[in-house]
Amino acid sequence: MSQLRAAVVLTVLFTLLTGIAYPLAITAIGQAVFPFQANGSLAKRGGQVIGSELIGQNFKDDRYFHGRPSATTAADPSDPAKSVDAPYNAANSAGSNLAPSSKALLAAVEARAKALGGGAQPADLVTASASGLDPHLSPAGAMAQVARVARARGLPEGEIGALVDRHIEGRALGVLGQPRVNVLALNLALDALKP
């Protein structure tokens, strides 16, 4: 009987500590120290949430920088047993899971390269990310789009290229990861430029 009592007391105690007290403490610390990040790194324009700096968006207009291709899908509305492409679908984060030797992957990469004008292209413009939600591009991937964006907006390429340079984020702590450009932040800065 004493073992049962001890087991119940410890279960209740650890449920309170790890299920209630710890999550509340971490939430309070996050809200106090990193409120922007703790609330999803939401980008706002005019008080309206327009996206998150952590989840890519499907920019298609030539006036904007396009993010990395996304292989996420959603259920087909006409047949739930099938799926349809749904780029940057955060409810179904996944990559294509195609092997490097896959003919379907090669065809998709070739089609993306052709849509970008053919020839050699930065890898992140022709291959989907593992999560399908990547909000960043390599600096080379952003620079490869400067001419198109400048032409569509009627702005000098040098001005658009300088904007990209200002939005390159370095390695975390100076050593982790690769330099990158947040596509949403870059496009918001692009909209702030005067044509």
172 has which bridge partners?
176
Same domain, 124 and 100: yes
The reply to whether 89 and 24 lie within a common domain is no
Instruction: Tell me: do 168 and 133 sit in the same domain.
Output: yes
pLDDT in tens, 63-98: 999 999 888 888 888 888 888 887 888 877 777 777
User: Are residues 87 and 180 located together in one domain of the fold?
Assistant: yes
pLDDT value of residue 106: 86
Q: Which residue from 29, 55, 28 is spatially nearest to 40, judged by alpha carbons?
A: 55
Q: What is the DSSP letter of 44?
A: E
Q: Are residues 55 and 111 in the same domain?
A: yes
- For 30-46, letters b (16+ CB in 10 Å) and e give eeeeeeeeeeebebeee
pLDDT over 70 at 195, yes or no = no
The pLDDT, as a whole number, for residue 31 is: 93
Whether 61 and 96 share a structural domain: yes
pLDDT in the model for residue 165: 95
| Percent composition of the chain: helix, strand, coil (DSSP 3-state, to 5) | 45, 15, 40
18 and 104 share one domain: no
- Indicate whether 81 and 56 sit together in one domain: yes
Of 2 and 179, more confident: 179
Residue 168: CB atoms within 10 Å:
15
Average pLDDT of the residues of the chain: 88
CA angle 108, 171, 64 (to 5 degrees): 45
Residues 24, 98, single domain; the answer is no
| Cα 14 from Cα 10, distance rounded (Å) | 6
pLDDT value for 92: 79
Residues 149 and 188 occupy one common structural domain: yes
Percent of the chain predicted with pLDDT > 90? 44
Please tell me whether residues 34 and 50 are part of one structural domain. no
What's the pLDDT band for 155 if we cut at 50, 70, 90?
very high
Q: Read off the pLDDT of residues 5-22 as tens digits, 9 standing for 90 and up.
A: 889 999 999 999 999 999
Going 104 to 105 to 108 to 111, the CA torsion angle's sign is: negative
Q: How far is CA 85 from CA 42, 79, 101, in A?
A: 25, 14, 22
pLDDT at 138: 93
With contact defined as beta carbons under 8 Å apart, do 187 and 153 qualify? Answer: no
| Co-location of 31 and 101 in the same domain | no
- Residues 123-132: pLDDT tens digits? 888 888 888 8
Alpha helices by DSSP H, listed for 88-182, are: 103-115, 123-126, 139-143, 146-153, 157-166
Average pLDDT over residues 161-187: 92
Supply the range of the domain harboring residue 161. Answer: 40-192
Number of domains in the chain: 2
Q: How much is the pLDDT for 169? A: 93
Predicted TM-score of the model (pTM): 0.80
